[in-house]
Structure 1
Amino acid sequence: MAWKTLDDMDLKGRLVLVRVDINVPVENGVVTDATRIEKIVPTVTDILAKGGKPVLLAHFGRPKGQEVPEMSLRPLVPALTEALGVPVKFAGATIGGEAKTAVSELQEGEVLLLENTRFDPGEEKNDAMFAASLAALGEIYCNDAFSAAHRAHASTEALAKLLPSCAGRLMEAELKALEAALGTPDRPVAAVVGGAKVSTKIDLLSNLVRKVDYLVIGGGMANTFLLAQGHEIGTSLAEREMTDTALDILARAGEAGCEIVLPVDVVAATAFKAQAPHVTVAADACPADHMILDAGPGSVARIAEVFEASKTLIWNGPLGAFEIAPFDAATNAAAAKAAELTEAGALVSVAGGGDTVSALNRADAADRFTYISTAGGAFLEWMEGKTLPGVAALGA
Structure 2
Amino acid sequence: MHNIHYIDQAKLDGSIRVLLRVDFNITLSPHNEIGDDARIRAALPTIEYILQHPQVTLIIMSHLGRPKGKEDRYSMKPVRDRLASLLPPGYSVVLVEDIESAKTALVHQDKTVYLLGNLRFWEGEKTGDPAFAQTLASLGDIYVNDAFGASHRPDASIVGIPKLLPSYAGLLMKKEIEHIDNAVSHPAHPVVAIIGGIKVTTKLALLKKLTDIADTLIVGGGLATVFLKAAGYEVGKSVLVAEEVPLAQEFLVFAKKHNTHLLLPDDVVVGDPADEHTGGAVKLVAEVGASDMILDIGPETQAKMGTVLSDAKTIIWNGPVGYMENLQYRRGTDYLYYAIAQNRQALSIVGGGDTLSAISKKEYLDHITHISTGGGAMLEYIEKGTLPGIEALKDAA
Same fold (TM over 0.5): yes
In the other structure, the counterpart of 1:217 is 219
The correspondence of residues 146-161 of structure 1 with structure 2, limited to 5 A, is 146-161=148-163
Provide Cα deviations, 1:108-157, integer angstroms capped at 9, x if missing partner. 43211223333433322323333233323222211111121111122111
In the other structure, the counterpart of 1:136 is 138
Give the distance between the partners of 1:190 and 1:41, measured in 2 at CA: 31
In the other structure, the counterpart of 1:12 is 13
SS of equivalent to 2:300: helix
* 2:61 counterpart of 1:57: yes
Give the distance between the partners of 1:202 and 1:26, measured in 2 at CA: 32
Provide Cα deviations, 1:80-106, integer angstroms capped at 9, x if missing partner. 3222241222333324xx422222x21
SS of equivalent to 2:329: coil
In the other structure, the counterpart of 1:2 is 3
The correspondence of residues 18-37 of structure 1 with structure 2, limited to 5 A, is 18-25=20-27, 31-33=33-35, 35=37, 36-37=39-40
In the other structure, the counterpart of 1:39 is 42
In the other structure, the counterpart of 2:246 is 244
In the other structure, the counterpart of 2:392 is 393
Task: Judge which range, 161-170 or 151-160, deviates more.
Answer: 161-170
The correspondence of residues 95-110 of structure 1 with structure 2, limited to 5 A, is 95=100, 98-103=101-106, 105-110=107-112
Gaps of 5+ in 2: none
In the other structure, the counterpart of 2:129 is 127
In the other structure, the counterpart of 1:83 is 86
Measured after TM superposition, the shift of residue 270 of structure 1 is: 6.4
* 2:95 counterpart of 1:94: no
Q: Which amino acid aligns with 1:181?
A: A
For the 8 Å contact 2:65–2:74, the answer to whether it is kept is: yes
Measured after TM superposition, the shift of residue 71 of structure 1 is: 4.0
Give the distance between the partners of 1:102 and 1:244, measured in 2 at CA: 58
Measured after TM superposition, the shift of residue 26 of structure 1 is: 5.1
Change (3 A) 1:361 1:289: closer
For the 8 Å contact 2:27–2:34, the answer to whether it is kept is: yes
Change (3 A) 1:360 1:366: farther
For the 8 Å contact 1:31–1:76, the answer to whether it is kept is: no
Give the distance between the partners of 1:236 and 1:67, measured in 2 at CA: 38
Give the distance between the partners of 1:70 and 1:174, measured in 2 at CA: 30
Residue among 285, 298, 301 paired with 1:299: 301
**TM-score, normalised with respect to structure 1:** 0.87
Change (3 A) 1:71 1:321: closer
Change (3 A) 1:354 1:69: closer
SS of equivalent to 2:99: coil
Measured after TM superposition, the shift of residue 231 of structure 1 is: 1.7
Measured after TM superposition, the shift of residue 338 of structure 1 is: 0.7
The correspondence of residues 198-347 of structure 1 with structure 2, limited to 5 A, is 198-269=200-271, 273-276=275-278, 278-324=280-326, 326-341=328-343, 344=344, 346-347=345-346
Change (3 A) 1:62 1:28: closer
Tell me how large the CA RMSD over aligned residues is.
2.7
Q: Which amino acid aligns with 1:290?
A: D
SS of equivalent to 1:32: coil
Q: Which amino acid aligns with 1:7?
A: D
Give the distance between the partners of 2:331 and 2:219, measured in 1 at CA: 16
Provide Cα deviations, 1:9-59, integer angstroms capped at 9, x if missing partner. 121332111011223455688543360333322221110113332111222
Measured after TM superposition, the shift of residue 325 of structure 1 is: 5.3
Measured after TM superposition, the shift of residue 230 of structure 1 is: 1.4
Give the distance between the partners of 1:325 and 1:118, measured in 2 at CA: 32
Percent identity reads 38
Give the distance between the partners of 1:370 and 1:180, measured in 2 at CA: 11
Change (3 A) 1:122 1:212: same
Measured after TM superposition, the shift of residue 211 of structure 1 is: 3.1
Change (3 A) 1:273 1:349: same
Q: Which amino acid aligns with 1:318?
A: P
* 2:367 counterpart of 1:368: yes
Measured after TM superposition, the shift of residue 290 of structure 1 is: 3.0
For the 8 Å contact 2:315–2:349, the answer to whether it is kept is: yes
Q: Which amino acid aligns with 2:170?
A: G
SS of equivalent to 2:237: coil
